[in-house]
């Protein structure tokens, strides 16, 4: 029996071992599958899972960077950013409808919003599982201070910088403005947006399983770069004030003015009227935000005659004292009859430019020829953008020579059939003021990072347009325009000035012909003549009544120049080196002609000086008198301002050395003493002890 059981046991298979093997195999397979899955998740899906975890556990809010300041050339702020508060609501699902309504009620009451609309927006956001809703952006902290203390459900506060322009509308066409999100939309704010804007940061909120924030951390933003302009705040103010008054006085559609330093191309002021306040864009129409100094393409009229004169003199086809027959004010070019404003006979080129003869300019253009005229037009920069760092600049209109009509040379020589912008004309006259070298106009001097390190410095292009001799010759001829020609109202007290008027008919868009009622009056000039420090252009669009450039624009030039030249430290040019002296340095062989020319210019200047006389002054005060030996009796300058003294000394040919501020209380030589032209006068300003 026992032997049989043993035999049966030996013949039965080992079931427990087989089961153990199956269980071990299953466990091994399961472990391999789990490991493979873990490897897959940790390697292939790592980034995606981490991002999903962040979304479930974190809320991220982008923080705006502090925009860099915009400064004038003296370091004064023209644009800066100020701290504000923005409101948002997180209508998370666990919030009850009455909680959202409570928040909406108090926010609407504080901000002056419509409660029903805000409550509906929040309910819709909650229904659509939107977790972030902006309520209002960039608010004053005082406005929302009460909401801080209420601890309203779902309401969040976020600090954001807001762009602020401390001078209101000053230089607004240069600065531009930004959007609600702080991105530049116009002007330098747009062109330099990337540099000024900086890099935004982020704030992360850690949440627990119930969605309640318990921790936060921030990646700080990087502030933007500071932009330093060539604009001078004080000069910009004077230009805007004078231009706005002129536009109102002449009832013009608009006006533009630019002040340019011809020695380095820096624009000291650029203004348009009407203007706008970038702090309150809704208060001005879009038309007022157009930068007409760069966008307004107009026929320049007689200011363009410098091209024909420069080309003829540079090519040795004419000289200033050459006589030219102006044909009593009429000339026919390719069958087209062109008239002068007045009937002139034979004039010197100098006189023809002063009187703005169209016939003379056309005759010079014919001498130069089509190709030559086109060459000099492009040399002066017409037909191309100047490259100024502002948006929307236009290139103007200059047609290729092969598109000229047979009579085009007659039109172009006197400033028709071409379109220019004010900044182009200023740059062209800047070339004459800078001894023939044109430097590209620019408004940005440099940029600096947050640490104050200069990251960019202006290096404007420059090229020679005409020789120094031609430029100096034209300067002397243009001075004649202010002394004896169409721009007598551009004469300055204490400074010599030169320039050219322009009066152009506008094209009527309906008839496509020249309008008989709409004009553009302009004047562009520089001062002092011997060493020009500023070029100033004034353009008046559609003035009512008087419309000639000499009447509506030249007086604005004078007002601006007389205000800003003393501010720039430019002394009255008492012993002015006029064109003949400077030409003598370039061409000493013509010494005889130079001396004659010097005497002529000196006589012209003296003839135009205002008379200084005793007009109701204190009894016994010597204001002006000529001594017997051709010297001058020293006037009494006591009690006068710096400006008045500089003007009087310039008229009498006296040099100044001053101390202090205020009004003159002491002078040497004493009143009534005999002094000679060029003598130094010592003046103490302030209050007498």
Active site residues: 302
Beta-carbon contacts of 187 under 8 Å, excluding residues fewer than 6 positions away, are 172, 173, 174, 175, 176, 177, 291, 390, 391
Those residues whose C-beta lies under 8 Å from the C-beta of residue 445, and which sit 6 or more positions away, are: 73, 228, 229, 230, 266, 457, 458
Query: What is the DSSP track for 86-150?
Result: EEEE---TTS-HHHHHHHHHHHHHHHT--HHHHHHHHHHHHHTT---EEEEEEE-TTTTHHHHHH
Asked if 641 and 685 touch (Cβ cutoff 8 Å), the reply is no
Residues 6+ apart with CB under 8 A from 3: none
What's CA 470's distance to the chain center, in Å? 30
Give CA–CA dist 442/513, Å, rounded: 35
User: Number of helices and strands (H, E) in the chain?
Assistant: 23, 29
d(CA 464, CA 423): 18
Shortest CA distance to 670 belongs to which of 638, 621, 646, 634? 634
- Residues in the chain, overall count: 689
Contact 546, 246 (CB under 8 A): no
CB-based contacts of 435-438 (< 8 A; 24+ apart in sequence) = 435/468, 435/471, 435/472, 436/464, 436/465, 436/466, 436/467, 436/468, 436/470, 436/471, 437/462, 437/463, 437/464, 437/465, 438/379, 438/380, 438/381, 438/462, 438/463, 438/464, 438/465
Place of tokens 């805000």: 118
Of 72, 436, 438, nearest in space to 265 by CA: 438
Exposure string of 414-423, with b = 16+ CB inside 10 Å and e = fewer, is: bbbbbbbbbb
Tokens of 556: 């604005």
Residue owning tokens 């320049």: 300
**Residues 6 or more apart from 465 whose CB is under 8 A from it?**
310, 376, 379, 380, 428, 431, 436, 437, 438, 471
**3 state DSSP class of 216:** strand
Query: For residue 182, what are its two tokens?
Result: 């702080």
Sorted by sequence, the CB contacts under 8 Å of residue 588 that are 6+ apart come out as: none
**CB of 231 closer than 8 Å to CB of 443:** yes
Phi, psi of 226 (to 5 degrees): -90, 135
617 φ, ψ to 5°? -80, 180
Q: Which residues pair with 513 in a beta bridge?
A: none
- DSSP for 229-280 reads ES--HHHHHHHHHHHHHHHHHHT-SEEEEEEE-TTT-BEEEEEEES---TT-
- Among 626, 596, 599, 597, residue whose Cα is nearest residue 611: 626
Nearest to 532 by CA among 303, 269, 306, 261: 261
């Amino acid at each position: 029996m026992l032997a049989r059981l043993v035999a049966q046991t030996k013949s039965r298979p080992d079931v427990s071992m087989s089961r153990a093997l199956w269980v071990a195999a299953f466990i091994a397979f399961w472990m391999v599958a789990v490991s493979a899955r873990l490897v897959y998740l940790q390697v292939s899906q790592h980034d995606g899972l981490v991002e999903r975890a962040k979304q479930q556990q974190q809320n991220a809010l982008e923080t705006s960077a502090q925009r860099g300041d915009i400064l004038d050339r003296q370091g004064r702020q023209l644009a800066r950013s100020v701290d504000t508060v923005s409101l948002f609501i997180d209508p998370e699902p666990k919030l009850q409808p009455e909680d959202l309504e409570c928040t909406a009620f108090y926010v609407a009451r504080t901000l002056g919003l419509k409660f029903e609309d805000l409550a509906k927006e929040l309910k819709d956001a909650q229904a659509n599982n939107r977790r972030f809703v902006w309520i209002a952006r960039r608010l004053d902290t005082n406005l929302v201070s009460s909401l801080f203390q209420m601890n309203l459900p779902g309401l969040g506060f976020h600090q954001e910088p807001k762009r602020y322009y401390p001078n209101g509308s000053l230089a607004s066409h240069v600065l531009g403005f930004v959007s609600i999100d702080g991105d530049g939309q116009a002007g330098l704010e747009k062109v330099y947006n990337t540099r000024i804007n900086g890099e935004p940061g982020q704030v992360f909120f850690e949440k627990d399983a119930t969605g309640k924030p318990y921790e936060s951390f921030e990646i700080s933003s990087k502030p933007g770069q500071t932009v330093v302009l060539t604009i001078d705040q004080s000069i910009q103010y004077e230009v805007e004030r004078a231009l706005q008054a002129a536009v109102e006085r002449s009832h013009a559609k608009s006006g533009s003015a630019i002040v340019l330093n011809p020695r380095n191309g820096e624009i000291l002021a650029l203004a348009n009227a009407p203007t706008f306040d970038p702090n309150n864009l809704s208060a001005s129409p879009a038309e007022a935000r157009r930068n007409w100094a760069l966008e307004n393409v107009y026929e320049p009229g007689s200011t363009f005659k410098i091209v024909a004169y420069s080309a003829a003199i540079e090519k040795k086809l004419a000289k200033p004292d050459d006589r030219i027959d102006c044909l009593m004010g009429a000339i026919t070019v390719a069958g087209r009859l062109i008239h002068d404003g007045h009937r002139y006979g034979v004039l010197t080129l100098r006189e023809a430019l002063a009187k703005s003869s169209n016939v003379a300019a056309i005759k010079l253009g014919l001498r130069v020829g089509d190709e030559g005229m086109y060459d000099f037009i492009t040399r002066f920069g017409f037909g191309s953008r100047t490259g100024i760092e502002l948006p929307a600049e236009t290139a103007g209109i200059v047609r290729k020579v092969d598109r000229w009509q047979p009579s085009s040379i007659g039109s172009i020589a006197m400033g028709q059939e071409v379109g220019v912008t004010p900044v182009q004309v200023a740059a062209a006259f800047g070339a004459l003021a800078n001894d023939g070298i044109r430097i590209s106009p620019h408004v940005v001097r440099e940029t600096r990072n947050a640490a104050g390190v200069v990251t960019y410095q202006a290096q404007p292009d420059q090229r020679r347009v005409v020789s120094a001799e031609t430029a100096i010759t034209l300067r002397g001829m243009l001075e004649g325009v202010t002394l004896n020609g169409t721009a007598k109202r551009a004469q300055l007290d204490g400074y010599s000035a030169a320039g050219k008027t322009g009066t152009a008919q506008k094209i009527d868009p309906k008839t496509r012909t020249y309008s008989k009622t709409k004009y553009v009056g302009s004047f562009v000039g520089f001062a002092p003549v011997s060493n020009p420090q500023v070029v100033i252009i004034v353009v008046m669009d559609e003035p009512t009544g008087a419309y000639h450039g000499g009447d509506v624009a030249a007086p604005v030039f004078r007002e601006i120049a007389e205000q800003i030249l003393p501010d720039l430290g430019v002394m009255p040019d008492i012993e002015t080196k006029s064109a003949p002296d400077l030409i003598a340095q370039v061409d000493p062989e013509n010494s005889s002609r130079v001396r004659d020319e010097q005497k002529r210019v000196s006589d012209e200047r003296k003839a135009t000086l205002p008379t200084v006389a005793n007009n109701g002054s204190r009894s016994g005060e010597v204001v002006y008198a000529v001594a017997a030996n051709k010297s001058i009796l020293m006037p009494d300058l006591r009690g006068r301002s710096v400006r008045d003294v500089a003007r009087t000394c310039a008229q009498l040919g006296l040099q100044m050395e001053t101390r202090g501020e205020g009004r003159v209380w002491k002078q040497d030589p004493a009143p009534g003493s005999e002094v000679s032209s060029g003598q130094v006068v010592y003046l103490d300003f302030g209050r007498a002890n």
